[in-house]
Structure 1
Amino acid sequence: MPGRTLVSLSSVSDDDLGRELTLVWEIEPGREIVEATQLPAVTATGFDDPQRLGAFLDAVRWGTVASADTRTLQAPFRSGITIETYQLAPVARALTMPRVNLLIADDVGLGKTIEAGLVAQELLLRHRARRMMVVCPATLTGKWKSEMDEKFGLDFTILNAETLRELRRSHGLLANPFAVFPRTIISLQWLRSPRVQRLLDEVLTPDIRHPGFFDLLIVDEAHHCAPPAPRKTSGYAVDSLQTRAVRRLGEYSQHRMFLSATPHNGYRESWQALLEMLDPQRFTRGVDPDPKVLGQVMVRRLKDDLVDEHGRPVFPGRETQAVEITYSDLEREGHDLLDRYLRARRTRVPGKKMRGNDLVALLLKKRLFSSPPAFARTLDAHRHTLETGTVGGGDDLPDYLQEALGWDDDLIDDESSAQAESEFLLTVDAGGVPDEHAAALLQQLSTWTAKVVGPPDSKASALLEELRRLRGSDERVIVFTEYVDTQRWLAELIEASGLGGDRLGLLFGGMDTDRREHLKAAFQAPPDRHPIRVLLATDSASEGIDLQLHCHRVIHYDIPFNPNRLEQRIGRVDRHGQHHKVLVSHFVGAHWEQAGPHSYDADLEFLSRVATKVAVEREDLGSVNPVLAAAVEAQMLGRPLLVDPLTVKAHPSTQLLRAEQDLRAHVADLRTQLDRSVTDLHVRPANIRRVVDTALAMAQQPPLIEQADGIVAHPTLRSGWERTVADQEDPLTGEVRPMTFDATLAGPDVVHAHLEHPLVAHSTRLLRSAIWGDTATLHRVAAVRAALPDAAGIDDVLVAVFARLVLVG
């Protein structure tokens, strides 16, 4: 442009440090050349109040940690949670890594999401990451968004079909969500779809492979991304669609974090492939990892191992109880009829279709062991299939049916799961039209089902008795079941027994998000604030939800054939924040010692032993669970039992996971590092309060309202400041909650105003910009009287000069 001046500017803002902007100087409104600063003049009348100047210095200090400083932590002070010292291990290690490749393999409930959030926050603050992606199961996308927002003040966008439609409507048909949104969350299921892969083709081009399109890739439940084990006893583990999708993202990511409580599924090749996706420079598929190298990238702690700096256990432990039930002759008759019917079917099934027949048998038994209504629904669907003459069922199932039926670890909503079961019976029922003997047994089963569907059976009666026992206390309990049919039946029985009303809540997959969050808030509230005492929950609804604040009792109404589900259930309450020993109960026949092989009592007793092992033995169950699942399947199908669940031990190669040895010393080091960061950064509650008070006064806003020692309420703010205190309503009452700058006083009823809280962050930005723009009427000089110790050797005036050095380019 002739006669015009192009000026290139580099941002010195902490939020956008180093970002360059080119503008035309002559047409830029409000342009001004700021003269080079120098030490301020000291005059008799030119002194600032020390507290006010201190607030400006703190505001600058909180954004000036250099990337080269690998010891000072900032992220813990920018999260709205009480952080346990052990949770600092991943972020402390990440600061020492030029390229962050971390496998966070902590036990269920230790706070892997918090640990990953701390790493992400620290990388953002040090300008080492900007574009981030979280990949997780579909049921966890909402939890990741809310956790990052509420606990770290980070806004993530969930990518799905609805988001894409809105983006195309607002930005045009060619808009790509991966280029538009800097921080995104995507489900594994949607990531592997052809539609998403085409969108990634547009942005993952060869010229940006190094250093990468994504600055940080976080993969939650990363064991889902490892190549699945061969379905047959021998064979090569073939990469699944989601394995290939996640590997592709990793190749275009500068930093990677994988999260999984069970990273090793017992198959060496899957384990090696997972490590190679995490760090292809250190690990190679087909080669066992070096324990020392593995220790460089992995953080692994089990609950039983964790102690505080004083050597005391962090988690109170678990206690399991098998509730004995005397089953009636009528109930045993149903199991006997089903067993005879399944054996009659099995004799007519050709070998190549045996797998389909086995899955029908397992599905019917799972439903029978759950409840009469659950069994009745599946039996009706099965009879309908046979009456239509459908015959099919090869040895393999389509991937979507494998997933929906729950033979792997993924959980979908209850409605989709039930629909998938019906579709499964229509698609792969291998039995065909039953012969006369099998048809007669099937008719007897239907007649038996009609007798037992209504009233409570022996197990339901035992559950009702347990709930009556707890009725007079404030104790809360979660009752887990696999099926909505069972859940609804139990809810009717509880209501009819006078134990329901506002004391009972139902949590199921596919329920409205607002209802789900309100129910969660009610169950997490103190007992004197909400009357709910019993929560009936399905597995698909409970994954990713935390319920540990006022509940330490879990009842398995039915026992899943997949042991991973058992640990996920218990993990809802056995997690960070639990202060009581977790009590886990399940049901077993009273006379199982005298039970014959493959009888009703024998099958239930076998499941009981599996549940006990998962609840009590807090070991590396990732490699144990596949063996347990195979043993359960063999028991339910009446095949020879090759393994006793009480004797199964972790695979020898999984011992590599036990990398942390001297945990007490390690925790003490982390505590020292955190305390040093508090001192260096001046992030004590009084200092944070001082920054907010100074900013409100400078912006001519009313001051904070004192409520109690350390607790304040925000005034009526205006001119945009009202947005900094939005969304602070109590989820139960809708009333605005007070705030505190002290993490030890924060809780469900009091909001923690940490450094990333909108009010604190806005105040900090205002003070920083005022220093650069010289609009704060600061003299930049303050004087204080201090009694210095004799050891300091100072007996004259001491002058301390503060300056900030910014390097860009």
Structure 2
Amino acid sequence: MQTGSKLMPLSEIELMPLQYAVITRLEKNGFAYIFDEVGSGKTIQTGLAIWNIIKDNPRAKILIVCPKSITYNWYSELLQKFGFDFKIVEGIKGSLFSCDPRIANLLITGSDASTKEYRPNEGLNRLALKNEVPEQSSGSWWDLIVIDEAHEFKGTSSSRFQTIRKNYSAKKVLFLSATPIKNAIEELETELDLVATLLTKEKEKGRVLPTLDNSKEYLGMKLLSLDPQNPFSRNFKEIIRLCKENVKGNQIDSDALYFKNRVIHRLTYNINPENWKAITEHLKGYYGFGYYQAIGNIHQLVFRNSLNIDPKLNECLKYLKDKVKSKEKAVIFCTRKATVEYICSALRKEFGKDEVLGMTGDTHEIGERKQILSRIGTMKTSFGEYENVRFLVIIDKLATVGLNLPTFNHIVNYELPFTPADIEQRFGRIDRITGQYHDDLHLVYFCEEKPDNVEYAALDSAFINLCVTKLIWNILDSIPSKNTIIDIISKDINVVAWRFTFIKTLLDIEKKYKVDWNISLEMMYAFIEELLGVNGTYATLQCQLFYHEIIKTRDSDSQVTFAEMMSHMQNQYLKSLSVVLGNDHLCQRFLNSEMTISEFVEAVGDQRKIKTDNAIFYKDEQGKIAPIALTDLAKKIVLNPNDEMKKLYTEIKQIQDDLGSFQEECKKICKDDNVDFKKLDELLINIEENSIFVSATLINIYKYLRKNGCISMNLSDFITGWNERRNK
């Protein structure tokens, strides 16, 4: 029976080949970018990477850099699942869990950084001080640096990026982000620069560092390959599960075993003409980001003290009453504190205080909030006043990272975020690779109906258009996505088709009759206002977005013509139609005048059959964005696993077999609720005395023996008994 360097800490983790592949990725390249979707087990992959390093070097120096709000999540997960006892480093005025970085080699710190060089009020700054970590000034000091939610490193000029660049270096880097691009490809370039910066001293040893140019061959559809030597991975939960079953030799004919039923609900609401007048008046004069902020205040300004006539709130209440069954739970996401309070007030009147919990940054202390959310999310035990909560109303910044809510199965987007990445993060709170309680997962969003005979201001539709535009134009080119925002376009595909035909007609007129469309930007705004059917403010915003996109493609600042603007809009609608329909065949037939307008719109409606909530969208070999059903993707890349994947599964099976044998041996050392620590010492004889595996394995042995009823003593007594034996 082997222990020590070849035995993983005793654990209940279900190992999967695609997760275990992180070891190969790091060994081969020195870095790995894990872009796997939200809830697919990136913490497990990190634990495996750490285990692989410290099994050969128990004193390896490992640092995890993550958002400050989830440092304790990382500490808890690695302790519970692997037995690794990391220490949290915060500023000098740190919390209860803060430690002195000079006395530990496994550390976690927040990714915030101070702009004041001589005031180390954040952990990242404190670790950079040479008097705190004196050896750091020479060589690649950290054996492994893990950067979680790394998309938060915004721009190379940010204080956190500059702190990393000036003070940190590593032998290996593990980069984790389910949403590496939120707005533009430049964000991915920053992330590549960040890893290259950390590995600068490794370049001297011949290491090839990542750049945007040499990484392009791994992006797009190649991210979905099962090659464990690829430094980039973009795996989806269903593929991870299917791959394990396939390399085990099991048949995967039944989709129901592996695919969750993701249901999208589009709730529409109508606002009466009088309130529309108040809304459009409120939005006048707002542009750009300010326009979206102004939308968020409408429920306060227009529907204040009028809960019975707020049509959006009424639709929300109706859905929660009709669709959320007695044993189901819903998370209602808001982007503003005022909205959380507004929704909670209405829900408590409808469902009672016990079933509703509202959370903003002001409602609970950080430690209490984390404990409450953890228990609500798992419901492993009862916990007093919160055990009856069915509706969690929460502000975005508290819940889009580091929160697991597998007992919930409804996500209600009362307010949509600014990016499709945040929608993906929200859905990932309930869609987890393990511990799922529900087969049906629901995502809800709202959209206002366009009224007749009143000036129309875009409300929720403004956020929908913004997210769809970012996803189609900026993200899918490089990162395949299973984003539910795609389904939103398909609900309104006929409207997109009509607009597409109208623009094509205008361009035909220009071409045939050589019409001079040389008009001012103001006139363009007015025309697009009519075309989109929205108020002038929103039309101006759309025009400005199109204008800047066109300018970015030019070498000069020459004036954008009306025809260019129309062509740009046509291309945007063509891309949207192609994504939803699966190809651009119908659009090309219409552009070639092979179909009339009515025939085209009718055909678009008939062809919209793809169920986008179970599809992956990616950029194909022809440069077009196309969907592929998850079942088809599985058949394409999983049914014929390569030798590397089979080898990984063989290694996993050997580890699990060793663990099984070791567990049986552990049972034999217990008798009459006591542990024979002498025999336990003999079992662990191959583990070095100062190895991290001593504490890690002891914790997991205790958990296993306690779970299987072999002992009833508490952990403190167990460790005391072990220490007494070792002292002898």
Question: Given the alignment of the two structures, is residue 276 of structure 1 paired with residue 227 of structure 2, yes or no?
Answer: no
| Pair 1:339-2:283 in alignment | yes
3-state SS, counterpart of residue 217 of structure 1: strand
- Aligned mate of 2:10, from 57, 68, 78: 78
- The equivalent of 1:552 in structure 2 is 409
Is 1:483–1:538's contact at 8 Å kept on the other side of the alignment?
yes
- How far does the alpha carbon of each residue in 1:237-275 deviate from its partner, in whole angstroms, 9 at most, with x for none? x5432222233455x222221111233542374354245
Aligned equivalent of 1:182: 105
- Aligned ranges 1:79-478 → 2 under 5 Å: 79-94=11-26, 96-97=27-28, 100-127=30-57, 130-161=60-91, 177-190=100-113, 194=117, 195-196=119-120, 197=125, 200-202=128-130, 211-225=139-153, 228=155, 238-248=156-166, 250=168, 252-264=169-181, 265-267=184-186, 269-270=189-190, 272-274=192-194, 276-277=196-197, 279=199, 280=203, 281-283=207-209, 285=211, 287-289=213-215, 291=217, 296-303=230-237, 305-306=239-240, 307=242, 308-309=245-246, 310-311=251-252, 314-342=258-286, 358-368=288-298, 371-372=299-300, 376=301, 455=308, 457-470=310-323, 473-478=326-331
Which residue matches 1:581?
440
Query: 2:10, 2:700 within 8 Å by CA — same for their partners in 1?
Result: no
Return the TM-score normalized by structure 2. Answer: 0.63
Structure (1 or 2) with the larger CA radius of gyration: 1
Distance 1:305 1:254 in 2: 31
Is the 1:688–1:760 Cα contact (8 Å) retained in structure 2? no
Contact 2:418 2:466 in 1 (8 A): no
Q: Which amino acid aligns with 1:739?
A: K
Give the Cα–Cα distance (whole angstroms) in 1 for the partners of residues 701 and 655 of structure 2.
30
| Alignment partner of 1:522 is 2:372 | no
**CA deviation profile, 1:569-609 (whole Å, cap 9, x unmatched):** 111011222352321011122457x798x823x44335346
Kindly report which structure 2 residues correspond to 1:557-572, keeping only aligned pairs within 5 A, or say none.
557-572=414-429
Partner of 2:4: 63
Equivalent in the alignment of 1:605: 461
How far residue 304 of structure 1 moved from its aligned partner, in angstroms, is: 5.4
Separation of aligned partners in 2, 1:471 and 1:318: 15
Q: Please state whether the residue corresponding to 1:116 is helix, strand or coil.
A: helix
TM-score normalised according to structure 1 size: 0.57
Distance 2:234 2:54 in 1: 24
From 355, 366, 383, the equivalent of 1:503 is 355
Indicate if the aligned counterparts of 1:566 and 1:614 stay in contact, CA closer than 8 A: no
Give, in whole Å, the separation in 2 of the partners of 1:283 and 1:554.
40
Q: Do the aligned residues in 2 keep the contact of 1:134 with 1:186 (CA within 8 Å)?
A: yes
CA contact (8 A) 2:406 2:432 kept: no
Say which SS state the counterpart of residue 145 (structure 1) adopts. Answer: helix
Aligned match of 1:41: none
Distance in 1 (alpha carbons) for counterparts of 2:443 and 2:397: 19
Label 1:612 to 1:583 Cα distance change in 2 as closer, same or farther (>3 A): farther
Aligned equivalents of 2:701 and 2:104: distance in 1? 23
Amino acid at match of 1:319: V
Q: Which residue number in structure 1 is paired with residue 599 of structure 2?
A: none
Aligned residue for 1:533?
Answer: 390
Contact 1:143/1:545 (<8 A) preserved: yes
Question: SS at the partner of 1:324?
Answer: strand
Q: Distance in 2 between matches of 1:259 and 1:741?
A: 38
Structure with higher helix content: 2
User: The residue matched to 1:588 in structure 2 has which SS?
Assistant: strand
Counterparts of 1:402-801 in structure 2 under 5 Å? 455=308, 457-470=310-323, 473-497=326-350, 499-510=351-362, 511-512=364-365, 513-525=367-379, 530-577=387-434, 578=436, 579-591=438-450, 599-600=456-457, 602-608=458-464, 635=538, 638-640=541-543, 642=569, 643-644=572-573, 646=576, 662-664=637-639, 665=641, 669-680=647-658, 683=661, 685-691=663-669, 696-699=674-677, 739-740=707-708
Q: 2:144 corresponds to which letter in structure 1?
A: L
Q: What percentage of aligned pairs have identical amino acids?
A: 17
Q: What CA deviation, in whole Å up to 9, does each residue of 1:682-724 have, x standing for no partner?
A: 54542332345599443599xxxxxxxxxxxxxxxxxx9xx97
Q: Is the 8 A contact 1:104 1:257 kept in 2?
A: yes
Secondary structure of 2:140's aligned partner: coil
Contact 1:527–1:550, Cα closer than 8 Å, also in 2: no
Contact 2:59 2:105 (C-alpha < 8 Å) held by counterparts = no
Q: Separation in 2 of the partners of 1:332 and 1:650?
A: 39
CA deviation after TM superposition for structure 1 residue 565, in Å:
1.8
Instruction: Say if 1:620 and 1:145 are closer, same or farther in 2 by CA, change over 3 A.
Output: farther
Alignment-derived partner of residue 801 in structure 1: none
- The match for 1:805 is none
Query: How many residue pairs are counted as aligned between the two chains?
Result: 546
SS, match of residue 576 in structure 2: coil
Q: Which amino acid aligns with 2:280?
A: D
Distance 1:670 1:316, change over 3 A: farther
Superposed CA offset, 1:594-648 (max 9, x none)? 798x823x443353466789999996786999x99xx999957533255458357
**Residue 299 to residue 638, structure 1, CA distance change in 2 (3 Å):** closer
Give the CA deviation at 1:455: 4.7
CA displacement, residues 37-79 of structure 1 (integer Å, 9 cap, x when unaligned): xxxxxxxxxxxxxxxxxxxxx5xx22142xxxxxxxx43x534
Pairwise CA RMSD:
5.0
Which runs of 5 or more residues in structure 1 are unaligned? Answer: 1-57, 66-73, 171-176, 229-237, 343-356, 377-447, 702-719, 729-736, 743-749, 776-809
Alpha-carbon spacing, 1:650–1:139, altered in 2? closer, same or farther (3 Å): farther
Q: Indicate if the aligned counterparts of 2:419 and 2:466 stay in contact, CA closer than 8 A.
A: no
Preserved CA contact (<8 Å) 2:265 2:442 = yes
Distance 1:619 1:304 in 2: 20
> Residue in 1 aligned with 2:525?
none
In 1, the alpha carbon distance for the partners of 2:472 and 2:354 equals: 33
Unmatched 5+ stretches in structure 2? 224-228, 487-531, 547-568, 580-616, 680-694
Equivalent position SS for 1:531: coil
Residues 68, 111 of structure 2: 8 Å contact kept:
yes
**Contact 1:272/1:288, CA 8 A, preserved across alignment:** no
Name the CA distance, whole Å, in 2 between partners of 1:613 and 1:359: 15
- Report what 2:588 is aligned to: none
Q: For residues 506-541 of structure 1, give each alpha carbon's deviation from its aligned partner in whole angstroms, at most 9, with x where no partner exists.
A: 232352222441243034216999422111111111
Please, which moves more after superposition, 142-151 or 602-611? 602-611
Give me the whole-angstrom Cα distance separating, in 2, the residues matched to 1:159 and 1:636: 49
* Partner AA of 2:358 in structure 1: L
SS in 2 for 1:119: helix
Tell me, yes or no, if the aligned pair for 2:354 and 2:389 is still in contact at 8 Å.
yes
Which whole-Å deviations, capped at 9, do the CAs of 1:442-478 have from their partners, x for residues lacking one? xxxxxx566x566551111111112222465211111
